[in-house]
Structure 1
Amino acid sequence: MTVENPRRALGVVFLIVFVDLLGFGILIPVIPLYALSFGATEFVGSLLIASYSAMQFLAAPLLGRLSDSRGRRPVLLLSLTGSVLAWLLFGVAGSLAVLFAARMLAGAMGGNIATAQAYIADITAADDRAKGLGLLGAAFGLGFVFGPALGGFFASESVITAVRGVLPAFVPVSEFSLPSFAAAVITGTNLVVAFLILPESRPPDAHETPASTEPRESRVQQLLSALRSPGLGTLVASFFLVSFAFSALESQFIFLTNDQYGYGATENAVLLTYVGVVLAVVQGGLVGPLTDRFGEYRLAVGGAAIQVLTLAAVPFSPQLGAFVPDLGALLPVGPVLPAGVLALLVVMTPLSFGNALTNVSLNTLVSRSATDDEQGGAFGLTQSAGSLARTFGPALAGGLYTGVAFWTPFVVGGALLVPILVLLGRLDREAVTSTAG
């Protein structure tokens, strides 16, 4: 640990990740509708969502290893620069092909999360790592709190009209391009802040070693090798299953609410903001104390168990709404959410809670499984597993949603979480036995 003021450095990384995710979150309610505006089907829209994760899968281990050899700071600055370019290209996209290209570039730059996680591991002691990674997770949650809300703001007709009167005529201004440009400006500001005040977390002699001349394994080969490792293999498999299952919700949620309630970008932004609040509260404030009491293994298992039922219940919110009291009769003044939407929020609360527990706990366990010199590579490997799952998950979910039934992606996703209970439960028992011995 070479950073003179670890607490300050942790705050800087928190700010970087928060602002980075803020720019990303702005486009979450916009992307599906953006794809449809070019004549894409819901399935193609799901592929657009998946393209981000496909590139993240390829880039995360590369950026993680690069940060191990060249330092965390240069990699974070490089990724932020690429993100600015991606969001600008996203805003001027005149075709579906350009939209895919911008999305893929953004995904490649999104692989920097492994570097941010490794940075946290560099500046925190092992016993405090869960809290540090939980704070990083809170940055994710806060980005998803304010990002969609800002996306809805910049897509509003009044803001679009005002901006059209200021920008030159050759700049495309629409409900899709303006949020993209806003994301570029926010990420650009983040780049300047990081350049000015982010210190390097690795000592110079730790990242000046000559590059290895041995041929590197492919991402798939690395994942297969990791799966054969008794401890790390379980964590990688769990990462894959959690990400694969949750991608059903991420990729189909807007389509589902649009079909069931006629909700568009604005309404979905409100729902996603609520989910972000839950994630931020859990990851930023509750994970640390819960870890101290129950340990990472039990939190990961408990989080997965919660998600099994709640994820499967999401598409049945209209039916569950029959059990929700009629708030319109109790509060006759002002707009009241439909009973089905209230039921959806009730389901989404424990679902988000469980997902936050599982993600932070798995990240902490991965950090504990690697040496100080392998933190970036280890995080890059597990994040690649998650990105690979989110690449194929949306495609499968989109096919199930349109080709079988609207509820199948969510029910299948819940079922995929069941093996995690067995895998992590066994690993926990082995860890307890090893400690006792």
Structure 2
Amino acid sequence: MTATSNKSQLAIIFFTVFLYLVGFGVVIPILPILSRNFGATALETGLLLSVYSLMQFLFAPFWGRLSDRMGRRPILLFCLVGETLSYIMFAWARSLEWLFVARILAGFFGASLSTASAYISDITPKHERSKGMALIGAAFGLGFVVGPALGGGLAVWGQHINPAPHFDTSFASYWVAALCFANFLFGVKFLKESLSEKSESAAKRKRFSIMWQYLNKKTVGPLMTVFLLSSLAMSSMEATLILFMGEKYQWDVKQVSFGFAYIGVIIIFTQGFLVRRLLPKWGERKVLRLGVLLLALGLTGIAIADSITGMAITMTLLSLGNGLANPSTLGSISLLSDANEQGAAMGVTQSMASLGRILGPALGGALYGTVAITAPFWASGLMAFLGLAIVIIIYKFIPEHGRVG
């Protein structure tokens, strides 16, 4: 592909990942409403959110490995159709059981994010790899900001159109389904295959043997562990921050939502602009080390801060840290993996992130309820500092392809 063609393909992948995260974010404000209407307990509502990440953990390596064998394009297009159907099913759901089915399907098809990461690996040269991975992070951040706001806005609009029960949430879901299908049509016309050499061996190995292989691989395994710890720390914080801010500062859901939006905006700025400026000067090593350090300081700072100003500083630090650390980690893992196994490598890496999003909320909630309201943030900070220790230990083995000169 030419440089111009690569840029257009990166734009398509960016939009694809953004829509995945918009779809995930849209259901956040409407899922508790629907589940309550269907008689769900608080635990069942939490499980509806967790099951999405569980499916990503289970199937990210599957889609990544399959894309190594069949190509990225057919997998991405097929999963966009699947995402469309999952949101139509979500709109049609009129029982708790069907809500679970819809979220399971959304997580199953959404696990193809690993294929999107592999696509970027295919079309970016080594010195641009981590910058390319930053696009995925920027799409995550943007989806994190737009999704909940869009879901709430569409639900309110739906109530004005038709006050019938469930019409508002169905209306929002249909819009997301339409966006996914429009992205599929866009991809059919413009998305080109990125994989030049397909791997037959990748499809013949069992899923957990592949995970074990990568986790035991020099440098790659520790970097995946860092990615897991970062995801675990962030999801534990996200699950308990709204409770913490309400109890300590009397913030309500609306104010905390603005706080999360602020985190998303900083992550967008960091991965969409700052990473692309710092990598050529410092390379992956220094950017990763700085990112994990800032993340650890920010998470720990939540437990220490005694004012809204202090909280704003810690939110900025953890957002900058997350925005710097994630693309550097993904880019380094990609650079250290074989060209014909990028899908498998990214699949295992995204599985680690999904595992963190499964365990993090439960860990944070348990610590908050049984130890202290600051305990989840001390624990999250500790996990991030543990990730920093791993980075320091393997520091000299981390690639520096992003550095120019």
> What's the TM-score, normalizing by structure 2?
0.89
Deviation digits for residues 340-389 of structure 1, max 9, x if unmatched?
4x543332111111011111110010111112111111111111111122
CA gap of 1:210–1:227, structure 2 versus 1, over 3 A, is closer
1:223 aligns with 2:211: yes
Counterpart Cα distance in 2 of 1:253 and 1:30 = 19
Could you tell me how far apart the structure 1 residues matched to 2:399 and 2:195 are?
33
Query: Is the CA contact 1:227–1:233 (under 8 Å) kept in the aligned structure 2?
Result: yes
* Letter paired with 1:108: F
What amino acid sits opposite 2:171 in the alignment? L
Q: Does 1:128 align with 2:128?
A: yes
Mark the structure with the bigger radius of gyration. 1
CA RMSD of aligned residues (A): 2.7
Alpha-carbon contact 2:135-2:271 (below 8 Å) kept: yes
The residue aligned with 1:162 is: 160
Pairing partner for 2:241 from 250, 253, 256: 253
For residue 263 of structure 1, what is the amino acid of its counterpart? D
The number of residues matched between the two structures is 399
Relative distance call for 1:303 and 1:97 in structure 2 (3 A) is same
> 1:20-41 CA distances to partner (integer Å, 9 max, x unpaired)?
3223222234444544554545
Q: Which residue of 2 aligns with 1:263?
A: 252
Q: Is the 8 A contact 1:135 1:284 kept in 2?
A: yes
Which residue, out of 368, 380, 399, partners 1:401?
368
> 1:373-412, aligned counterparts within 5 Å?
373-412=340-379
Alignment match of 1:185 (pick from 156, 162, 178): 178
Q: Distance in 1 between matches of 2:399 and 2:19?
A: 39
Task: Please list the CA deviations of residues 299-346 of structure 1 after superposition, one character each: whole Å capped at 9, or x if unmatched.
Answer: 2222112122321333666xx22xxxxxxxxxxxxxxxxxx4x54333
Would you say the 8 A contact 1:2–1:202 is kept in 2? no
Identity score, percent: 37
Match of 2:403 in 1: none
Supply the distance in 2 between the matched residues of 1:210 and 1:161 (Cα, whole angstroms).
Answer: 51
Task: State the shift of 1:282 in Å.
Answer: 0.4
Asked whether the equivalents of residues 86 and 106 of structure 2 are also in contact (C-alpha less than 8 Å), the reply is yes
Give the Cα–Cα distance (whole angstroms) in 2 for the partners of residues 412 and 43 of structure 1.
22
Q: Residues 48, 172 of structure 1: CA spacing in aligned structure 2 closer, same or farther, 3 A cutoff?
A: closer
Which is further off, 294-303 or 31-40?
31-40
Residue equivalent to 2:27: 27
What pairs with 1:83-98 in structure 2 (closer than 5 Å)? 83-98=83-98
SS in 2 for 1:16: helix
Residues 212 and 72 (structure 1), Cα distance of their counterparts in 2 relative to 1, 3 Å cut: closer
Structure 1 residues 272 and 29: CA distance shift in structure 2, 3 A: farther
- Residues 1:99 and 2:83 aligned together: no
Q: Give the distance between the partners of 1:100 and 1:258, measured in 2 at CA.
A: 29
* Partners of 2:273 and 2:320 in 1: CA distance: 12
State the SS of the aligned residue for 2:219. helix
Q: State how far apart, in whole Å, the 2-side matches of 1:311 and 1:107 are.
A: 27
Contact 1:301 1:420 (C-alpha < 8 Å) held by counterparts? no
Post-superposition CA distance 1:111-142 (Å, at most 9, x none) = 11111111111111111112222123222222
How many angstroms apart in 2 are the aligned matches of 1:314 and 1:352?
Answer: 12
Mapped partners of 1:432, 1:160: distance in 2:
50
The residue correspondences of 1:257-296 to structure 2 (distance < 5 A) are 257=245, 261=250, 263-264=252-253, 266-296=254-284
Is 1:344 paired with 2:321?
no
Report whether the alignment pairs 1:199 with 2:188. no
Structure 2 unpaired stretches of 5+: 401-405
Whole-Å Cα distance in 2 between the matches of residues 373 and 33 of structure 1? Answer: 45
From the superposition, tell whether residues 390 and 213 of structure 1 become closer, same or farther in structure 2 (CA, over 3 Å). Answer: closer
Show the counterpart of 1:144: 144
**C-alpha contact 2:59 2:111 (8 A) present in aligned 1:** yes
Runs of 5+ unmatched residues, structure 1: 322-339
d(CA) in 2 for partners of 1:118 and 1:43? 35
Distance 1:401 1:93, change over 3 A: farther
